[in-house]
Structure 1
């Protein structure tokens, strides 16, 4: 979950995934075998406290993640003697709580209140320190935001699920409200020591522990059941993952502050989508993607969104839903994201969401899970949340520092495909989607949706919009036909232009004569006051610096 300004989670929550018209087979490729995971909790319903302990390792450093509606991935922590359920967030750094149980603290800065503001919601309160237990590790003094006030959004959506906080597992060099406030109160050295994140403290107190994590997000049965996941700290779980990750090239983060990485390519049904970036210093032909477990779906530029869903037969863009509406059981497209020269296929279940419109309307509708990125794109081009991350095992490497805290090796990411193969995944999609739809109202037609949700849908929302983004030679012939047609009208056009020119010259002569006769200027000149607007200076690409501090 990124800090403000960010895409609205309320809007993203409505966005779902879609299927596509023709499944264009891709060229045969070798697929990484999927690693068999321990079975999570079975049955329907959500249990947020305690989180299932089915996922565990020999030393307890692999911790299970409960999945709530494919949009929240939760874990339990013990802070100051009480247990809390928090969301795991690779998009932020701080531990932020709105505690519903007492916490035994060792320090509280009551006179200094900070506000942690995210794309959806905020929590405000003082900084406090308490003993933390997480993932088999203990941190004697962990700084956290002790929330005393909370946004209405959190009260409406998070608290009813038993979610009372966010545990940031991003880089300490990123945005940290706690670190910044302590630096204002004391100095940088004190802030670096007291204001560390949870994982920074774990790595600092266990020097022999490799400073990386592996995150896997499970997938529920198309909105039903709970597909658990896990996070392992400093080890590979299951152990065979190590061999797979050893064969994968690490991708350096674009900046040292976020889990942003260059994206090489996007293909839709075998056709490449030309990528472009609004981020200063981004490699040519690539886009900068942020990997964020705190974002339930994903947000991409409009041209990417249209390329992904525009070719689906029967799909159309809805202004009311701010998403593509797609047939729930139409043939799904082959969509792959390419990072570090490797392809990552997106499971069809992660392309569309099923929306039950009851009680307002007795209809079901399927919408795109990927939504439009609707904020300034000067730091990232794509916000890849859970809709993408469910398709990979992700290893987050936090970089190496020397004894003085200087960076000696950059943070990086490794991605391992979780796909069993596109045909296998598509069969899985059909089975789960049919089971889900069987218990829901009938699927709404386009006319029924537009009647229920009046809107003005632009013609550019038709399926053909993707043709402009996807490389193709089909436009050459139509362009030539247009030129031939215009060529036939050339004599008429030039004749009309000649007549218009004669009339304009006559009017100009009359105007000059009138001005001379009146002997004065028609209007006095006016100077325009120009106030330059200061633009935000975009950060350049990150480079290793032996003298740069890891947590600054």
Structure 2
């Protein structure tokens, strides 16, 4: 019986995490960022590489019979050892948030492109700092482990038994997250997690293997913030069990990078009334949510026109970059957007002159999503909608950061409800174009510009909400805020795809994604972009380039 119970727990872990990470890359992304892959090297070029290998290296008995690629890899490994490259330190650039003054709060950092939002937490007795994606679409929390030899672990922080005297490995445990072209797997460990003034006992996944996809993002792991049940208590379950908060809730404000200094914040116990204006209107979590933060959606529209999408559930997911919905309903939405077109019912182009916000309605209250966020920057002369026809959650909608940057969101565990409020007017709302024609550029996809591209300001739709009816727990309210500015803003570094951070059951048939990282600044200091490591820390791909340069000089 014990063996059967153990087997059941292992199978449960694998099935629950079967679709917990899936990087989503829109086609326009690499075109805009100039990061589309180059043509694969032909055989003749490969042979030329071998001919450039030093004769001493080629004559070594250790290299007899090895392919050209393996010989180059071996040379790269030698150079790595020679220059004493250190692994296991996060080298990504992040945009640090100012440190909140409120207790039980923490700044939410991001990657400078609005693609991933994360925070720094401390693990174990040594308070080891790691960057974890804040993901309301996942319940599993994990971090890269010290024994991980996968390429992404070479430029990320790690945590495990060597870092803490209080760490206890869960014997015989295992977990696996499968996604796209790769996976992440490992075992479990028990220790403490300190974050936002809280210290909790947690059971966290220690990753021994990760996919190369993790090389693209700052995150060292994921902090799951959903209420879904796992074989061990989740972070939210540990939070409730600790009985440390006045109210078991957390609230989040995500910063748009183009708005200036990063003021993103997560608060525990009570909302931060400086982060929103007007009322917080609540919607009850669906009885079919299975532990996710999913609420009934009244509708979606554009410029006063309703798309006719009713009776649907919307999953509110901070770990997802974009907005996803069933293809037929996404088509209904774009049918009311003048000039929208699609060749596959998945991706839609929209006029780059679009400045009108799209709208979502919950419990009778309508919220605007700025064109800065739902319209991409121009790439190859066209702009793309960041509302994609893909039902990540079968038959339902998934609202990621494209939506969440426009609202203040409260996740009420005790009340089993989600609250939404209007954020104060942005200090800088811009739109960009390469031709002088106004087009949206901010947001989860639109702020992803290379550092050499200048973003021109333009007029965007007002950031507002209107109430046509009272919600189940909140009073009717009507409020609005507008922000328009002129000037210039420089976009940040890019090269990372967007994320889809929703854990979905196997029955959905679609994988989902996650990512994270952070750091903090003083309350009065302006947030800055910085590297998580000041040491020389070169990844294996870089060493290949050094190896090839060495060969060229030798030749």
* Matching residue of 2:191: 130
Separation in 2, partners of 1:271, 1:233: 37
Matches within 5 A, 1:283-302: 285-302=310-327
Query: How far does the alpha carbon of each residue in 1:211-259 deviate from its partner, in whole angstroms, 9 at most, with x for none?
Result: 001111111229xx774521111122245759733xx344333435111
Separation in 1, partners of 2:307, 2:206: 45
Separation in 2, partners of 1:15, 1:305: 20
* Matching residue of 2:170: 109
* Matching residue of 2:422: 417
Say which SS state the counterpart of residue 257 (structure 2) adopts: coil
Q: Contact (CA 8 Å) 2:107, 2:265: kept in 1 or not?
A: yes
Separation in 2, partners of 1:129, 1:266: 44
* Matching residue of 2:78: none
Separation in 2, partners of 1:274, 1:341: 15
Separation in 2, partners of 1:238, 1:427: 28
- Return the match for 2:132 from 77, 80, 86: 86
Residue 270 (structure 2) pairs with residue 270 (structure 1): no
* Matching residue of 1:384: 399
Separation in 1, partners of 2:378, 2:432: 19
Q: Label 1:296 to 1:6 Cα distance change in 2 as closer, same or farther (>3 A).
A: same
- Return the match for 1:61 from 105, 108, 111: 105
* Matching residue of 1:145: 205
* Matching residue of 1:210: 247
Separation in 1, partners of 2:385, 2:29: 5
Separation in 2, partners of 1:91, 1:270: 30
| TM-score, normalised relative to structure 2 | 0.56
* Matching residue of 2:44: none
* Matching residue of 2:491: none
Q: Label 1:536 to 1:318 Cα distance change in 2 as closer, same or farther (>3 A).
A: closer
- Return the match for 2:221 from 137, 149, 165: 165
Residue 342 (structure 2) pairs with residue 317 (structure 1): yes
Gaps of 5+ in 2: 1-15, 31-89, 146-156, 456-505, 509-555
Q: Label 1:386 to 1:4 Cα distance change in 2 as closer, same or farther (>3 A).
A: farther
Residue 378 (structure 2) pairs with residue 373 (structure 1): no
Separation in 2, partners of 1:212, 1:129: 24
Say which SS state the counterpart of residue 387 (structure 1) adopts: helix
How many residues are paired up?
357
Q: CA deviation at 1:130?
A: 1.6
Q: Contact (CA 8 Å) 2:377, 2:384: kept in 1 or not?
A: yes
Q: Label 1:119 to 1:216 Cα distance change in 2 as closer, same or farther (>3 A).
A: farther
Separation in 2, partners of 1:9, 1:49: 19
Q: Label 1:229 to 1:47 Cα distance change in 2 as closer, same or farther (>3 A).
A: farther
Q: Contact (CA 8 Å) 1:51, 1:65: kept in 2 or not?
A: yes
Residue 313 (structure 2) pairs with residue 261 (structure 1): no
Query: How far does the alpha carbon of each residue in 1:175-218 deviate from its partner, in whole angstroms, 9 at most, with x for none?
Result: 52xx2xxxxxxxxxxxxxxx322233233223452100111111
Separation in 1, partners of 2:252, 2:306: 29
Residue 374 (structure 2) pairs with residue 351 (structure 1): yes
* Matching residue of 2:331: 306
| Cα RMSD, aligned residues only | 4.0
Q: Contact (CA 8 Å) 1:215, 1:394: kept in 2 or not?
A: yes
Query: How far does the alpha carbon of each residue in 1:368-403 deviate from its partner, in whole angstroms, 9 at most, with x for none?
Result: 1111124562xx51011111111111100112xxxx
Say which SS state the counterpart of residue 274 (structure 1) adopts: coil
Q: Contact (CA 8 Å) 2:375, 2:440: kept in 1 or not?
A: no
Residue 331 (structure 2) pairs with residue 331 (structure 1): no
Query: How far does the alpha carbon of each residue in 1:148-182 deviate from its partner, in whole angstroms, 9 at most, with x for none?
Result: 00122223x22xx3x110101111xx152xx2xxx
Separation in 1, partners of 2:451, 2:207: 43
Residue 288 (structure 2) pairs with residue 232 (structure 1): no
Which has the larger Rg?
1
Separation in 2, partners of 1:368, 1:50: 26
Separation in 1, partners of 2:257, 2:94: 18
Q: Contact (CA 8 Å) 1:77, 1:86: kept in 2 or not?
A: yes
Separation in 1, partners of 2:173, 2:191: 17
Q: Label 1:345 to 1:126 Cα distance change in 2 as closer, same or farther (>3 A).
A: same
Q: Contact (CA 8 Å) 1:259, 1:290: kept in 2 or not?
A: yes
Say which SS state the counterpart of residue 342 (structure 2) adopts: strand
Gaps of 5+ in 1: 17-45, 180-194, 276-284, 357-362, 400-409, 443-534, 538-552
Q: Contact (CA 8 Å) 2:94, 2:110: kept in 1 or not?
A: no
Say which SS state the counterpart of residue 112 (structure 1) adopts: coil
* Matching residue of 1:394: 409
Query: How far does the alpha carbon of each residue in 1:421-467 deviate from its partner, in whole angstroms, 9 at most, with x for none?
Result: 9xx9688995974997996599xxxxxxxxxxxxxxxxxxxxxxxxx
Of 432-441 and 232-241, the range deviating more from structure 2: 432-441
